[in-house]
A and B are shown apart, each in its own frame.
Chain A
Amino acid sequence: MSSDNENSIKFSSMRRKLLMGMAALPAAPLLSSAGLFSTPAYAQAPATAAVNTTGLAVTDTEVTVGILHSVTGTMAISETGSVQAEKLAIDQINAAGGVLGRKIKYIQEDGASDWPTFAEKAKKLLVNDKVAAVMGCWTSASRKAVLPVFEQYNGMLYYPTFYEGLEQSKNVIYTGQEATQQILAGLDWVQKTKNGKTFYLIGSDYIWPRTSMKIARKHIEGHLKDSSVVGEEYFPLGHTQFNSVINKIKLKKPDVIYAAVVGGSNVAFYKQLKAAGIDLSKQTLLTISVTEDEIDGIGGENFAGAYSCMKYFQSLDNPNNKEFVAAFKKMWGEKTVIGDVTQAAYLGPWLWKLTVEKAGSFDIDKIAAASAGIEFTKAPEGYVKIHPNHHLWSKTRVGQAQPDGQFKVVFETPDLIEPDPFPKGYQ
């Protein structure tokens, strides 16, 4: 693979000289004529005109992609890890020879935790910068805001966050898990190993927790034997007082607390849970919203013992992951932690590269069509594959939090789980 890439680099630098001789010609005819001339001569090194028929920002030596996350505002805390992972992946791809012989250059835009800004910047990336792909967005709201833009201007978005599902687009590859992937296996596990029969559902009040809890409730009531939901509760984002609900939990004595609380509320919830004497090593708590990133703020000692259901943990024991963690820490410092979304963000550039190489083209339509079946064997989480519905086949894992803020993986689904963004029977 690497020798191929070296070749293509050499070829493209030759072609660049050739092109420079024609610099007087206007840009568009230049590209097409260069393509015509060079196609037979350099069959192995794909010519720009051949791999880019829609005028994306692809030159003979470079291809431009966009990174679109919040660097400022309330979401900056969460999205920083994704930006870091995407930059790492791009660096690594470039070091390995780039994509179709072209180095990846990125343009980073700040969504500023503001959804119209996301839409504007997405449009700028697609219309002004003509980027070949965008790695970005974190919250559902930002994705919903940019989705019409991507569909209208035919762009490609690699979206890293685990999310509520109920969406599928030609123009988006979802590298995180959709809700059923994340939820069902974890519930099965908790029922089997912890003998969980009664569940208390608690979440922040917005679309992701509500949809997730809906799926969880359907599964608990319809698919798990003799199990029931004894309470379901939502709190406004930013809520900081949980003593009343903790009393309710004490009253109901559920076997399992199933939590999807986010942001600052998360910190308050676990601190108050611990203070109220609910010992997470005895009371089973399964959450779908706490990754290594969140534990930083909650404090490892407040969360130790709880279970988290994710597709990736920093502590995963496989060669891919060890390499990834080492590279990430080398680039961003020893103290950084890597959560589920960060890893999913890292997949974005790689999956895009593999797809482009399979399609032999940067054209969005060709990438969208070629995405199904793309396999990435070097993924830190193991092996992933893109499903025709543009979500990933992935394993689901349950980790138990340790006082040092890391998870010990206690369960892993034996097979990859099929993504099902519109689950029948769960809506």
Chain B
Amino acid sequence: MFADYSLAELGSIFVMQGFAGLILFSVFVLMALGLAIIFGQMGVINMAHGEFMILGAYVTYFTSQFFLHFLPSLFNIYFFVAMILAFFASGALGMAVEWLMIRRLYKRPLDTLLATWGLSLILQQVYRSVFGPREVGVELPNWMMGSLALTDTIEVQINGLFVMGLTIAITIAVALLMYKSAWGKQVRAVVQNRVMAGAVGINTEKIDRNTFGLGCGIAGVAGSAFTMIGSTGPTSGQLYIVDTFLVVVFGGAQSLLGTIASAFTISQAQSTMEFFLSGSMAKVLTLLGVVIILMLRPQGLFVIKVRR
């Protein structure tokens, strides 16, 4: 398929394709990070993760409408406001859910799966009843559209760069929070030994609630960012759920580094295969590959503790 092209053209396509892989990688990390915190640190399987993302997307939509009508002069920066609002909206909902539901289920991870699936159905119907069944189009400020021409033939998407930047920022923030702050130390203490952590005076319930809220909040930011590349509708969250879970499980649940490595592997495999094969087959092969590797290495790529 490359016979008719000059070397320069091929070179720029490879650069752009590499960039496409990186965007996919960022998208995966962004999707999975919130889930990795919740699943990895707390052992809760949050099937409503996609719906928390979509809440962020709706918040972004309404923020854009608000700015469009009341503060058109500031429309260019509304996206930052929207992301912050999305974080707090999804985070607050997450904390409420933790308090009402999840905290009763810590000892039963499979049951959190069922309960959060129920939650996701309810949230979908809430979105449908409140925001309408149709997808909404989120308008972006002009500077976020289009692409930068690096050379004559190489173009990179601005929103792709934006997503990558955001991913890096959030990943660093989460890593710092988890591994450098006092709060992160407490979280890790609770994960490793709940009873002892409680005994030395850590308020484990509060830690749980905040951790869950943080994971959901990050999902909200991800959803906000995804309004640039995907659809926003009551059932859009479902589109992400399988990919997200596979990334987290493939990475080895307890490790943030593992999540990142697994997102990288899966995204590169998928985007390369999509380039050389047809779209549907690429998807099937990627999923199959992940499943087979998981059969060989059941605890994922990066393992902290192996056996119970």
* A80 proximal to B (CB < 8 A): yes
Name A241's contact: one of B24, B128, B137, B231 (CB within 8 Å): B24
Within the assembled complex, what's the spacing in Å between the Cα atoms of A275 and B280? 23
User: A77-B135, A268-B229 in contact; A235/B279 too (CB < 8 A)?
Assistant: yes
Name A244's contact: one of B128, B147, B275 (CB within 8 Å): B275
Q: How many A-B residue pairs have CB under 8 A?
A: 126
A128-136, A179-187, A293-301, A318-326: which lies at the interface? A293-301
* A67 proximal to B (CB < 8 A): no
Shortest Cβ distance from A98 into chain B, in angstroms?
32
Name B283's contact: one of A236, A264, A277 (CB within 8 Å): A236
Using CB atoms, name the residue of chain A closest to B23: A243
Within the assembled complex, what's the spacing in Å between the Cα atoms of A248 and B274? 9
Within the assembled complex, what's the spacing in Å between the Cα atoms of A41 and B308? 91
Contact across chains for B27 and A241 when beta carbons are under 8 A apart = yes
User: A236-B279, A264-B230, A275-B145 in contact; A247/B133 too (CB < 8 A)?
Assistant: no
Contact across chains for B279 and A275 when beta carbons are under 8 A apart = no
Within the assembled complex, what's the spacing in Å between the Cα atoms of A249 and B238? 28
CB-CB under 8 A from A298, the residues of chain B are: 137
Shortest Cβ distance from A377 into chain B, in angstroms?
33
Within the assembled complex, what's the spacing in Å between the Cα atoms of A277 and B158? 9
* A151 proximal to B (CB < 8 A): no
CB contacts under 8 Å to B, within A247-287, are 247-248, 250-251, 264, 266-268, 271-272, 274-277
Contact across chains for A250 and B275 when beta carbons are under 8 A apart = no
Contact across chains for A268 and B137 when beta carbons are under 8 A apart = no
Max chain B Cβ within 10 angstroms of own Cβ: one of A250, A272, A276, A300: A276
CB-CB under 8 A from A205, the residues of chain B are: 279-280
* A233 proximal to B (CB < 8 A): yes
* A240 proximal to B (CB < 8 A): yes
Contact across chains for A244 and B274 when beta carbons are under 8 A apart = yes
* A302 proximal to B (CB < 8 A): yes
Q: CB-CB contacts of A220-240 with B at 8 A, as 1s and 0s?
A: 000000000000111110111
Contact across chains for B233 and A250 when beta carbons are under 8 A apart = no
Contact across chains for A244 and B239 when beta carbons are under 8 A apart = no
Contact across chains for A77 and B133 when beta carbons are under 8 A apart = yes
Shortest Cβ distance from B226 into chain A, in angstroms?
8
Using CB atoms, name the residue of chain B closest to A244: B274
Contact across chains for B135 and A267 when beta carbons are under 8 A apart = yes
CB-CB under 8 A from B76, the residues of chain A are: none
CB-CB under 8 A from A354, the residues of chain B are: none
CB-CB under 8 A from B5, the residues of chain A are: 251
CB-CB under 8 A from A274, the residues of chain B are: 145-146
* A245 proximal to B (CB < 8 A): yes
Contact across chains for A238 and B239 when beta carbons are under 8 A apart = yes
Within the assembled complex, what's the spacing in Å between the Cα atoms of A299 and B228? 11
Q: CB-CB contacts of A68-84 with B at 8 A, as 1s and 0s?
A: 00000010110010000
Contact across chains for B13 and A250 when beta carbons are under 8 A apart = yes
Name B13's contact: one of A234, A247, A297, A302 (CB within 8 Å): A247
Within the assembled complex, what's the spacing in Å between the Cα atoms of A244 and B271? 6
Q: CB-CB contacts of B190-234 with A at 8 A, as 1s and 0s?
A: 000000000000000000000000000000000000001111110
Contact across chains for A243 and B271 when beta carbons are under 8 A apart = yes
Contact across chains for B17 and A244 when beta carbons are under 8 A apart = yes
Name A264's contact: one of B24, B139, B239, B280 (CB within 8 Å): B239
CB-CB under 8 A from A234, the residues of chain B are: 278-280
* B157 proximal to A (CB < 8 A): yes
* B160 proximal to A (CB < 8 A): yes
Contact across chains for B155 and A264 when beta carbons are under 8 A apart = no
User: A233-B278, A250-B16 in contact; A296/B24 too (CB < 8 A)?
Assistant: no
CB-CB under 8 A from B279, the residues of chain A are: 205, 233-236, 239, 245
Within the assembled complex, what's the spacing in Å between the Cα atoms of A266 and B270? 20
Shortest Cβ distance from B262 into chain A, in angstroms?
16
CB-CB under 8 A from A251, the residues of chain B are: 5, 9, 13
CB contacts under 8 Å to A, within B265-287, are 270-272, 274-275, 278-280, 283
Within the assembled complex, what's the spacing in Å between the Cα atoms of A339 and B76? 32
CB-CB under 8 A from A236, the residues of chain B are: 279-280, 283
* B90 proximal to A (CB < 8 A): no
Contact across chains for B137 and A264 when beta carbons are under 8 A apart = no
Within the assembled complex, what's the spacing in Å between the Cα atoms of A239 and B282? 11
Shortest Cβ distance from B115 into chain A, in angstroms?
22
CB-CB under 8 A from B139, the residues of chain A are: 299, 301
CB-CB under 8 A from B229, the residues of chain A are: 240-241, 268, 271-272, 275
* B20 proximal to A (CB < 8 A): yes
Contact across chains for A243 and B280 when beta carbons are under 8 A apart = no
Within the assembled complex, what's the spacing in Å between the Cα atoms of A236 and B284? 9
* B159 proximal to A (CB < 8 A): yes
Chain B residues at the A interface, C-beta cutoff of 8 Å: 5, 9, 13, 16-17, 19-21, 23-24, 27, 128, 133-139, 145-147, 149, 155, 157-160, 228-233, 235-236, 238-240, 270-272, 274-275, 278-280, 283
User: Can you list 24 A-B contacts with CB-CB less than 8 angstroms, sorted by A residue number?
Assistant: A77-B133, A233-B278, A234-B278, A234-B279, A240-B229, A240-B231, A241-B24, A243-B19, A243-B23, A243-B271, A244-B17, A247-B275, A248-B275, A250-B16, A251-B13, A264-B230, A272-B229, A274-B145, A275-B147, A275-B160, A277-B155, A293-B134, A296-B136, A299-B139
Additional pairs, 8, CB under 8 Å, beyond known A268-B231, A297-B232: A232-B278, A234-B278, A236-B283, A244-B271, A250-B13, A251-B5, A275-B147, A275-B229
